[in-house]
């Protein structure tokens, strides 16, 4: 029989791990205890279903299923056959798969797919997909549960770094099936293989392609072990839409796209509900890696033990920042955003240290270290990687060393590498910015001697033709004209040079720190190339052709006209390393009028002339009032964006989360600081949402904690009246990262009305490349 709502509630209560207080889905809007309260778990503040809906920018594409912090495995339900995985608004769950990316913008992964049914074995999605209800769904860090109502099967999921576990409770009186439709992925399945490897194990592999049409294949190997011996089993072969079952068959293979294979295990009807537990290990190296990951991380451990371990891991990860004050909803938004910021990049090395390099060969991670993959570079250099540098410096060092390995093995530094393949998505040299930021922040646990030549190479020369990597688009034209001509590079010519200039400025700062004066001189000049696409007549950045003339018929509110995923208005502000020059070039009064207009929308909107909270193109803009003499406007605007765009519903993240970027923006902003130019090591100030924030620091930083107190913080008290750092008055609207990493106390006095004199003088503005020295490292 199918579980009733009462049985579901009772069963879920009995099966949840004792003390795991965070099991309510965001649909319930449950009020949680304040972090730090006796017996409270920080996982209680996290609602993974936030961000599974959609907004004006389209679907948000976050997954609700279990994963460990930065885990290789993201075991989650899929509600679609080609796309991103799970959407709150979809009516059916098709099954569960072992790999997902967190909020990407292109269909991807969904590899190693399986599900549970009752009755006859059916091999097509339409015949095994099941309706579900959010009232019978639970999502929490490291745990997911749902009732597959078509079959009356209660599914529970948990995960380790490299393995997942599913616990299926089948209703009494019906035959029980676990299906493995291995050809099912969310992108483009090129090949697959499946084998019944005994009476309790199914093994195999699936070859998918990296996302956004890059077309590069990769293979995931898996080992799947069951808690009960199979009563019967089989495989199927055919094409999608039809498949021929071979009862007692032991293997099936797919050799081209469009074929449809799978395997199944089966048990007869029982008088009482039957529980079948499935452990799944994966590896990108080989079958032995999958088997070993399963043995090391899952063997001999119960579902409850793995669930407790995942909950504890998330409590530790989330506990690096403690907040008090704010409303229950604000705390839930904050810790859910922090949770989403800690999902990617992903562990890529197996438990034995082996990993597949960019050269297609098997390599070994250094003992005690991990290799990471899946860097959404164009997005995450802005706030997610600076956040990780602040709160997880050891992981950040390994992430940077993984980029070094990319350079050494693959021959170049990529922009958006996925599964150790180059995708060439987006623009600029964002991973150079990431490594420069880490080094300048004081993280030196990676090989900068090996990294620097690759970073400098990417910034100055074109890669060889015919390679899988692209380098900076238009680099040959940049070296000749000092900008990217719109008639030669049609994909966001203006955005390209703006993003490149951010990297050049970051590398300039790094070259100075590395005592490389000749390189610093070259990079400083290149960092100013963005000025060559600034029109002094119209005071906008705009596309320019190779003959030096401005591309005609320019409309700054028109999206795509020389800009990537945005308009001239959105990119009006993208000179983060040199905002003092931009403000002077536009004219301070005009700059502030335009910035005020940019935020003068009545409600959040995707519009070519207003701030777009749904994409990364203008994330720095709210903090630019800190540079233009109106820091009180940064304080008001940031609070407004948080209030209007981040909430506790499935639609509570603005746009694709892009692997933690939009979420990390919220984390930083709610703490009351943000780095417009991360490699500058300057953090601009806004008004904290919470009365107290404690950032626990770790080596190599010398401080133990950095504490931000704002005793009057509330929705009404949104304006900074005074700031004191370790008892001393701060008259500027920014802090050097050195002050944070040394530890200390920042006291922010807030009030209900703006103090237009605080930090409003030109000398109080954050540093800019061409007008002032960078903060001391």
621-678 pLDDT, tens digit each: 999 999 999 999 999 999 999 999 999 999 999 999 999 999 999 999 999 999 999 9
**pLDDT, mean of residues 684-702:** 98
Structure confidence at residue 776 as a pLDDT band (50, 70, 90): low
Q: How confident is the model at residue 15, as a pLDDT?
A: 39
Q: How confident is the model at residue 14, as a pLDDT?
A: 35
Rounded CA gap, 614 and 438, in Å?
A: 27
Closest CA to 487 of 563, 545, 554, 427: 545
Residues 6 or more apart whose Cβ sits within 8 Å of residue 549: none
Residue pair 202/250 in contact by the 8 Å Cβ criterion: no
Structure confidence at residue 605 as a pLDDT band (50, 70, 90): confident
**pLDDT, mean of residues 692-706:** 98
Structure confidence at residue 59 as a pLDDT band (50, 70, 90): confident
Structure confidence at residue 460 as a pLDDT band (50, 70, 90): very high
Residue pair 405/358 in contact by the 8 Å Cβ criterion: yes
**Radius of gyration over every alpha carbon of the chain, rounded to an integer in angstroms:** 26
Interval 85-138: pLDDT, tens = 999 999 999 999 999 999 999 999 999 999 999 999 999 999 999 999 999 999
Tell whether the model's pLDDT for residue 222 goes beyond 50: yes
In DSSP terms, 179 is beta-bridged to 115, 264
3-state secondary structure of 517: helix
Distance of CA 776 to the CA centre of its chain: 30
Q: How confident is the model at residue 12, as a pLDDT?
A: 44
Q: Largest Cα–Cα distance of the chain, in whole Å?
A: 82
Residue with tokens 């700031």, as numbered in its chain = 723
Residue pair 238/260 in contact by the 8 Å Cβ criterion: yes
Q: How confident is the model at residue 774, as a pLDDT?
A: 63
Rounded CA gap, 499 and 444, in Å?
A: 25
Q: How confident is the model at residue 54, as a pLDDT?
A: 87
Closest CA to 143 of 256, 311, 375, 364: 311
DSSP E strands, 4-152:
54-55, 58-59, 76-78, 92-93, 95-97, 113-118, 130-131, 137-140, 143-148
Rounded CA gap, 249 and 23, in Å?
A: 40
Closest CA to 88 of 80, 100, 96, 97: 80
3-state secondary structure of 679: helix
DSSP E strands, 331-438:
346-347, 354-356, 362-364, 372-373
Q: How confident is the model at residue 58, as a pLDDT?
A: 78
Length of the chain, please?
A: 777
Closest CA to 98 of 208, 193, 197: 208
Question: What average pLDDT does the chain have?
Answer: 94
Interval 312-369: pLDDT, tens = 999 999 999 999 999 999 999 999 999 999 999 999 999 999 999 999 999 999 999 9
Q: How many C-beta atoms lie closer than 10 Å to residue 18's C-beta? A: 6
Q: Which residue has the higher pLDDT, 33 or 53?
A: 53
Tell whether the model's pLDDT for residue 33 goes beyond 50: no
- β-strands 321-324, 274-283: how paired? unpaired
In DSSP terms, 705 is beta-bridged to 696
Q: How confident is the model at residue 775, as a pLDDT?
A: 66
Rounded CA gap, 498 and 259, in Å?
A: 45
Rounded CA gap, 177 and 265, in Å?
A: 6
């Amino acid at each position: 029989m199918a579980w009733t709502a009462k049985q579901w509630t009772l069963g879920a209560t009995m099966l949840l791990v004792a003390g795991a207080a965070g099991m309510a889905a965001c649909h319930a809007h449950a009020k949680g205890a304040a972090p730090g309260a006796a017996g409270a778990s920080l996982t209680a503040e996290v609602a993974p279903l936030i961000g599974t809906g959609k907004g004006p920018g389209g679907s948000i594409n976050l997954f609700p299923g279990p994963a460990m912090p930065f885990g290789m495995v993201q075991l989650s339900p899929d509600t679609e056959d080609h796309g991103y995985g799970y959407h709150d608004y979809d009516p059916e769950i098709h099954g569960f798969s072992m790999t997902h990316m967190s909020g990407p913008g292109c269909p991807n992964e969904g590899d190693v797919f399986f599900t549970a049914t009752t009755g006859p074995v059916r091999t097509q999605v339409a015949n095994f997909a099941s309706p579900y209800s959010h009232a019978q769904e639970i999502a929490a860090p490291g745990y997911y549960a749902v009732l597959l109502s078509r079959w009356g099967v209660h599914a529970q999921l948990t995960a380790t770094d490299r393995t997942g576990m599913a616990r299926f409770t089948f209703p009494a009186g019906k035959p029980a099936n676990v299906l493995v439709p291995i050809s099912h992925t969310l992108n483009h399945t090129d090949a697959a293989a499946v084998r019944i490897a005994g009476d309790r194990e199914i093994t195999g592999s699936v070859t998918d392609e990296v996302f956004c049409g890059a077309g590069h294949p990769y293979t995931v190997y898996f080992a799947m072990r069951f808690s009960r011996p199979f009563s019967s089993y089989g495989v199927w072969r055919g094409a999608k839409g039809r498949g021929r079952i071979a009862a007692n068959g032991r293997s099936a293979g797919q050799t081209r796209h469009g074929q449809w294979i799978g395997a199944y295990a089966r048990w007869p009807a029982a008088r009482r509900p039957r529980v079948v537990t499935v452990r799944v290990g994966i590896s990108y190296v080989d079958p032995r890696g999958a088997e070993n990951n399963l043995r090391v991380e899952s063997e001999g451990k119960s579902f409850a033990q793995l669930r407790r371990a995942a909950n504890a891991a998330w409590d530790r990860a989330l506990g690096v920042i403690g907040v008090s004050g704010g409303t229950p909803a604000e705390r839930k938004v904050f810790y859910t955003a922090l949770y989403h910021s800690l999902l990617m990049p992903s562990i890529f090395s197996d438990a034995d240290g082996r990993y597949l390099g960019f050269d297609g060969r098997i390599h070994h991670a250094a003992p005690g270290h991990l290799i990471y993959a899946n860097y959404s570079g164009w997005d995450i250099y802005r706030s997610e990687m600076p956040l990780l540098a602040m709160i997880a410096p050891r992981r950040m060092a390994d992430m940077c060393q993984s980029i070094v390995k990319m350079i050494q093995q693959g021959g170049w530094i990529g922009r958006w590498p996925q599964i150790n393949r180059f995708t060439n998505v987006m623009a600029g040299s964002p991973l150079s910015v990431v490594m420069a930021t880490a080094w300048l922040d004081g993280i030196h646990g990676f090989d900068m001697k090996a990294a620097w030549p690759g970073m400098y190479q990417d910034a100055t020369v074109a890669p060889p033709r015919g390679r899988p990597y692209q380098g900076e688009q238009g680099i040959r034209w940049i070296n000749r004209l000092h900008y990217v001509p719109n008639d030669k590079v049609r994909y966001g010519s203006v955005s390209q040079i703006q993003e490149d200039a951010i990297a050049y400025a970051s590398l300039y700062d790094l070259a100075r720190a590395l005592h490389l004066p000749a390189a610093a001189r070259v990079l400083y000049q290149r960092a100013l190339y963005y000025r060559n696409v600034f029109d002094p007549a119209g005071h906008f950045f705009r596309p320019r052709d190779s003959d030096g003339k401005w591309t005609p018929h320019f409309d700054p509110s028109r999206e795509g006209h020389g800009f990537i995923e945005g308009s001239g208005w959105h990119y009006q502000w993208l000179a983060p390393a040199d905002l003092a020059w931009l403000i002077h070039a536009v004219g301070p009064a005009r700059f502030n009028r335009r910035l005020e207009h940019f935020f003068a929308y009545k409600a959040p909107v995707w519009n070519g002339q207003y701030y777009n909270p749904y994409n990364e193109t203008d994330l720095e803009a709210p903090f630019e009032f800190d540079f233009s003499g109106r820091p009180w406007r940064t304080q008001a605007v940031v609070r407004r964006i948080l209030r209007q765009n981040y909430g506790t519903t499935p639609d509570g993240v603005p746009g694709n989360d892009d692997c933690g970027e939009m979420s990390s923006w919220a984390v930083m902003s709610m703490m009351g600081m943000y780095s417009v130019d991360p490699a500058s090591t300057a953090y601009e100030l806004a008004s904290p949402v919470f009365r107290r924030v404690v950032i626990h620091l770790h080596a190599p930083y010398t401080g133990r904690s950095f504490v931000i107190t704002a005793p009057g913080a509330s929705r009404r008290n949104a304006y900074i009246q005074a700031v004191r750092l370790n008892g001393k008055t701060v008259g500027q609207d920014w802090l050097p990262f050195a002050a944070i990493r040394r530890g200390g106390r920042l006291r922010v006095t807030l009030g209900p009305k703006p103090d237009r004199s605080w930090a409003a003088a030109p000398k109080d503005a954050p540093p800019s490349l061409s007008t002032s020295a960078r903060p001391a490292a």
